[in-house]
Each structure stands twice: as C-alpha cells, then as structure tokens.
Amino acid sequence: MPNYSLKLLFVSTPVGALGTGIGGGVELSLYNIAQEMLRRGHSLQILAPVGSKLAQLPIIEIPGNRQIIAQSQGRDTPIMMPDNSVLANMWEYARQVQGEYDLIVNFAYDWLPFYVTPFFDKAIAHFVSMGSLSVAMDKMVVQVVAKFPGTIGFYTPSQAATFALNTECACLSSGVDLSLYEFCPNPNNYLAWLGRIAPEKALEDAVQAAQISNIPLKIMGKMQDEEYWQKICITYPNAPIEYLGFLSTTNMQQQLRQCIALLMTPRWIEAFGNVAIEALACGVPVIAYRRGGPAEIVQDGKTGFLVEPDSVKGLVSAIAHLPQIDRSNCRQSAETDYSLEALGDRFEHWFRVMLK
Ligand code: HBI
C-alpha cells in the first residue's frame, strides 16, 4: 500500500463543543486520533460546534443548535432535529468541501451522517462510539454496513455485538498519550470514579461501595444530570464522597494516580471505557462490572478485578483484594495495548484499507 499522506476531515459529535466534556469518551478518542494522525504527517481538519477547543488542533467551528444526547432517548423515540441543527450544518459544510479530502471520518452517534453517506462522493468512515441505543440508529448502522462494507468501526467486539450485524467490522479499541499519565507506586487510601455523571453510569453503586468499605471516593467528570447527582447526595448523605468537577487530563490524572483503584459501574454496555486505560496508565487497578468494554480491558486478578454486574457486594469484595494487584502490571498493560502509536496503527490501517 502506498504510504502517501492522507487528507482527513473529522466531523465531531454535535452534543457539545469539544473540550467541554459533554462528548464524553468520544472527545478524548477524537483528540488522540487527530493528534496521532498529525504526528504521522497526515493533514487534518476537524468540524465541531462553536466553542470547541482542543489544544492546538485545527478546528473549524460550525454554528447551530446542539443535538439531544442519544442515551436520553428511548429505543423507539423518533429522531429529532432541532431548528438550525449544528449536526446538519456540519454535514452541509462537509458536503461542500469533500473534494479537498481523501476521507471523511464521522464521530457522531447520530442518524443523519449515516443517512447522507450515499449522497457523498467521498468515502465516509463511521466510528461508532456507543452500543445499540435505538431502532433508528441500529437500522442505519446495518444499512451502511451493507452498502459500504468496512466503513463502520467500533471500539470493541462486545459493543459491535449489540448491533447484531452479520459481518465483521473493524474494532479499533482505544489509546491514550501515556506521557500525560504518571505512574504512582504508593497510593493514598482513596477510591476514584470517573465519567459523565448520568444514570447509565450508575455512580450510586460506587458511592455505596465506598460507604461500606469506608474509603473516601473522589468523583470526577462532567456534571451531565444534576437531578441524578442530587438524588445520590440525598440518598447517601453520609457517604465519604467528594466531587472534583470536570478536570483537564493533567489535573485529573494528578488525583487519579494517587488512588488505590478506579471503580467502573456502568449500568449499560459501555462501548469501551477510556477512563479504564487512563487509570491503568497511572498504575491504578480497575474494578469494573464484567460487561462491555471494561471486561475486555481489565485482566481479572492482574490489572484489577471484574465483578458480577450491578453487584455492590462484588465491588466491596474486590476492593478488599486490591493488595494482591501489582500496580506496575497496570502501567505495563497500558503501554502494551493502549499507547497512541498502537491506536494510530489501528486507525491508519482502517483508513487505508477503506481507500484501497
Ligand atoms: N448523543 N446524539 C448524540 N450524538 C453523539 O455523538 C453522542 C451522544 N451521546 C453521547 C456521546 N455522543 C458520547 O459521549 C459517547 O459517544 C462517548
């Protein structure tokens, strides 16, 4: 395959400006993949809502009204497009400039980009960032897989399996810039929980586990559902919890690295769980429910523990067994499987196969 450099157009998630944390894990993925493509000499532009800022990445800000987050909708809820939709505006812009690029890469978990795919002259790679959430999206994913084989990518096989596709799709996993995460051999007696504060993340289970274990819990991430947070505070008034807000990677890892473990309590099939590899990169063991992405990341008993889903007792028992985990194994597993270079290799290969 010729090694010419690629001209890439990334189209971001329409749920919020990049850098605000509303886009959750897909923000971090887009940032890391973009950074790695530029490092390899490819050229890149990113279309994202006004207000987006990610280090010195080349962003073209597109105005318009945000899209409602897909996980707040029911499986049969009709697809809704706000007036002056930023999603529609981003894809109209992409249509106009498509001639300047080799490949368009979609990071939005939305119906429209899949629907317009056949109307474009240029190939569109769709990176799907969550498991199956709605009938409408499932149908679109199946349709694009059928018409344009090889153009759909997921984080993990367990996430892909939720769409019941009958063809192999690319599973790209994820990766982080390991140089941003500092290994910590001797932690303090804290637990950590990272992620968007929202019902599908089941923070309440981690709060209960911290209370039973009597170990303080540091909570970091975007406050997505204030009502949900208030309910937790009212239900567990004496839990030893502290909410630190949505921090930059540097400040977040400064807190995370000092913890004895990260608790991952997804109520849904977590597509991947970038926070798991951020913890491993700091040498922090991960205690996670055995489902979805985390179950493919954590090596049970070696880099953390996999627990029966929704079992707070299981979390508490795993916390008690943490001394048996060697924290350098956690950092090692991040270096082996989740470096930016490994991520870049997987994405570049996926792009080049599509362009053959
Ligand atoms: N909802 N409608 C919509 N579109 C997205 O791109 C989207 C979302 N909800 C969550 C989300 N993206 C990301 O936080 C996850 O993919 C990680």
Question: Any idea which residue has 């060697």 for tokens?
Answer: 326
By three-state DSSP, how is residue 219 classified? strand
Query: Would you state the pLDDT for residue 167?
Result: 87
Query: Would you state the pLDDT for residue 166?
Result: 83
- Three-state secondary structure readout of 38-61: HHCCCEEEEEEECCCCCCCCCEEE
Which among 81, 78, 76 is positioned nearest to 135, based on CA atoms? Answer: 76
Which among 295, 286, 343 is positioned nearest to 319, based on CA atoms? Answer: 286
**207-237 per-position pLDDT tens digit:** 999 999 999 999 999 999 999 999 999 999 9
Out of 3.20.20.120, 3.40.50.150, 3.30.420.40, 3.40.50.2000, the CATH code matching 7-175+339-355 is 3.40.50.2000
- The residue to mutate among 129, 162, 196, having the most atoms of ligand 1 within 8 angstroms of its beta carbon, is 129
Instruction: Give yes or no on whether 7-175+339-355 and 178-337 have one common fold.
Output: yes
**25-72 per-position pLDDT tens digit:** 899 899 999 999 999 999 999 999 999 999 899 999 999 999 999 999
* Chain center to CA of 43: 24
Element (H, E) at 333: helix 327-337
- pLDDT grade for 2, boundaries at 50, 70 and 90: low
Structure tokens at 5: 């450099």
pLDDT at 3 over 80: no
**253-279 per-position pLDDT tens digit:** 999 999 999 999 999 889 999 999 999
Q: What is the mean pLDDT of residues 291-308?
A: 97
> Residue 152 Cα, ligand 1 centroid: separation in angstroms?
16
> Residue 258 Cα, ligand 1 centroid: separation in angstroms?
30
> Residue 19 Cα, ligand 1 centroid: separation in angstroms?
14
pLDDT at 16 over 80: yes
Which among 177, 172, 179, 119 is positioned nearest to 148, based on CA atoms? Answer: 119
- pLDDT grade for 294, boundaries at 50, 70 and 90: very high
Task: Compute the distance between CA of residue 22 and CA of residue 130 in angstroms, rounded to an integer.
Answer: 14
Domain boundaries, the chain: 7-175+339-355, 178-337
- What CATH number belongs to 178-337? 3.40.50.2000
Question: Is there an atom of ligand 1 within 6 Å of 26 CB?
Answer: yes
pLDDT at 23 over 90: no
pLDDT at 135 over 90: yes
Task: Compute the distance between CA of residue 295 and CA of residue 288 in angstroms, rounded to an integer.
Answer: 7
| Burial classification of residue 248, based on how many CB atoms lie within 10 Å of its CB (0-12 exposed, 13-18 middle, 19 or more buried) | exposed
Task: Compute the distance between CA of residue 206 and CA of residue 183 in angstroms, rounded to an integer.
Answer: 23
Q: Which residues of 313-333 are buried (b: 16+ CB within 10 A; e: fewer)?
A: ebbbbbbeebeebebebbbbb
**144-197 per-position pLDDT tens digit:** 999 999 999 999 999 999 998 988 899 999 999 999 999 999 999 999 999 999
Task: Compute the distance between CA of residue 149 and CA of residue 290 in angstroms, rounded to an integer.
Answer: 30
Determine which residue's CA is closest to atom 16 belonging to ligand 1: 129
Question: Any idea which residue has 């586990």 for tokens?
Answer: 209
Element (H, E) at 193: strand 191-194
Query: Would you state the pLDDT for residue 188?
Result: 98
The DSSP code for 200 is G
* Chain center to CA of 29: 6
Element (H, E) at 289: strand 286-289
Give the mean pLDDT of the chain.
96
Question: Is there an atom of ligand 1 within 6 Å of 108 CB?
Answer: yes
Question: Is there an atom of ligand 1 within 6 Å of 21 CB?
Answer: no
Q: Would you give the end-to-end CA distance of the chain in angstroms?
A: 8
Percentage, residues of the chain above pLDDT 90? 94
Which residues, listed in sequence order, are joined to residue 62 by a DSSP beta bridge? Answer: 49
pLDDT at 301 over 90: yes
Query: Would you state the pLDDT for residue 174?
Result: 96
Q: Are 37 and 44 in contact (CB under 8 A)?
A: yes
Determine which residue's CA is closest to atom 7 belonging to ligand 1: 109
Query: Would you state the pLDDT for residue 197?
Result: 96
Element (H, E) at 171: strand 170-171
Query: Would you state the pLDDT for residue 73?
Result: 95
Count the Cβ atoms, other than its own, within 10 Å of residue 51: 13
Question: Is there an atom of ligand 1 within 6 Å of 204 CB?
Answer: no
Element (H, E) at 242: strand 241-245
DSSP codes of every residue in 89-134: HHHHHHHHHGGG-SEEEE---SHHHHHHGGG-SSEEEEE--S----
- pTM here? 0.91
